[in-house]
Amino acid sequence: MAEPSRRTGAPPGEPRLVGYLYALPALLVFAAFLLWPILRAVSLSFYEWDGLTQGTWVGLDNYLAVVSDPTLRAPFVHALVLVLFFCVAPIGIGLALAGLMSRVRLRGMAFFRTVIFLPQVVATVVVGIAWSAIYAPQGPLNDVLSAVGLDGLATAWLGDEVWALPAVGLVGTWVFTGLCVVLFLAGLAKVPPALYEAARLDGAGPVREFLAVGLPALRGEIAVAAILTIIAALRTFDLVYVMTSGGPSNSTSVPSYEVYDRAFVEGEVGSAATVAVVLTALILAVSIGINRFAEREVT
């Protein structure tokens, strides 16, 4: 057996292999329910397999297809568009709202906070069905448009190749703005009032005050919000499944939907696994990137 190394900076106490024994139960659960499925998915991604007959080894072909096949590339592009709606817009709106709400002392503030947060609480499937009804050709949105004389703008929102993706994205904005506002409000609450006072004494107006004091204090919260919303955008499934099934003409297909469609509908399990692996890697990379960024700024 190898002599345990005694580097300086190593954890105190005698390093003993028995430590792994204590971790074993958790490790087994982890391996059975996470590690094994992930490895299995990775291994499946090297095959062309219909889920029924014997699979054939195709090496990296499935991965090359993600880059070269437009029907596989498009879902990733759509996911990036959704990032704008799920992450950038809610964080922008969230900052503005939180900045405003933290300044005014209004009666019933808790009520408004709750209302803004409410979309987060509702199941996404319910949200999707409700918004599908709003976007319907004879739905409330088109009714409102024609009521104010904008009939020309009315369209079948979810049936239009140009508008379907933004329409789905906007639902994401609606859902995640509440989360961002509540996060940012909590962040602003911990800023010492003295800082604001100091800024005001230096002659800062409300906007300047927020930019100089509030915004820097929210760095951590923004990072958290960004990670949560970007992950949500990249792995969107339920909204698309309920609202458009990837249509019209695949204009709202997203990676997660593609995984489901290929694995369970089209019988292309290998390709589905590949998309899943690429998506996982992408999400991992984005989370690590944002984390790094946020931590570097703090120190």
Partner 1 sequence: MTVPLPRTRLLAVTATALLLAVTASACAPGSDDEGGGTDTAAADVETDVAAMGDLTLTVWDQEVRSGQDKQLDTLNASFENRYPNVTIERVSRSFEDLNRTLRLAINSDDAPDVVQANNGRSIMGAFVEAGLLRPLDGYAEAYDWEERFSEDVRALSSYTEDGATFGEGNLYGVPQTGELVGLWYSKPKLDELGIEMPRTTADLESALQTAARAGEVPIQLGNKEGWPGIHDFGFVQNQFVPADEIRDLGFGVEGSSWTTPENEQAAQTISSWADNGYFTDGFNGFDYDPAWQNFAKGEGVFVIAGTWLLADLSAAMGDDVGFALPPTGESGEMAVTGGTGLPFAITESTEHADAAAAYLDHITSPEAMTDIEEAGNLPVYGAASDTADGPQADVLDAWGAANEQGAIVPYLDYATPDFYDLLTAQVQDLLAGSQSPEDFLSTLEEEYTSFTGSGG
**Binding positions for partner 1, rule: CB under 8 A:** 36, 39-40, 42-44, 46-47, 49-57, 135-138, 155-161, 164, 244-245, 247-250, 261, 264-267, 269, 295, 299
Nearer to partner 1, 134 or 191 (CB): 134
Nearer to partner 1, 114 or 249 (CB): 249
Q: Is the peptide bond before 255 cis (omega within 30 degrees of 0)?
A: no
Task: Answer whether 252's CB lies under 8 Å from 161's CB.
Answer: no
**CB 235, min distance to partner 1, A:** 19
Nearer to partner 1, 118 or 126 (CB): 126
Q: Which two tokens stand for residue 184?
A: 């940012």
| H helix intervals, the chain | 18-30, 36-44, 61-68, 70-83, 89-103, 109-121, 124-135, 140-147, 164-189, 193-201, 206-209, 215-217, 219-234, 238-243, 255-260, 269-298
Gyration radius from the chain CA atoms = 24
**CB 135, min distance to partner 1, A:** 7
**CB 187, min distance to partner 1, A:** 22
Q: Give the residue among 241, 228, 92, 224 at the shortest CA–CA distance from 158.
A: 241
Partnered with residue 193 across adjacent β-strands are none
Nearer to partner 1, 95 or 242 (CB): 242
**CB 295, min distance to partner 1, A:** 7
**CB 68, min distance to partner 1, A:** 16
Nearer to partner 1, 202 or 295 (CB): 295
Q: Which two tokens stand for residue 213?
A: 């004091």
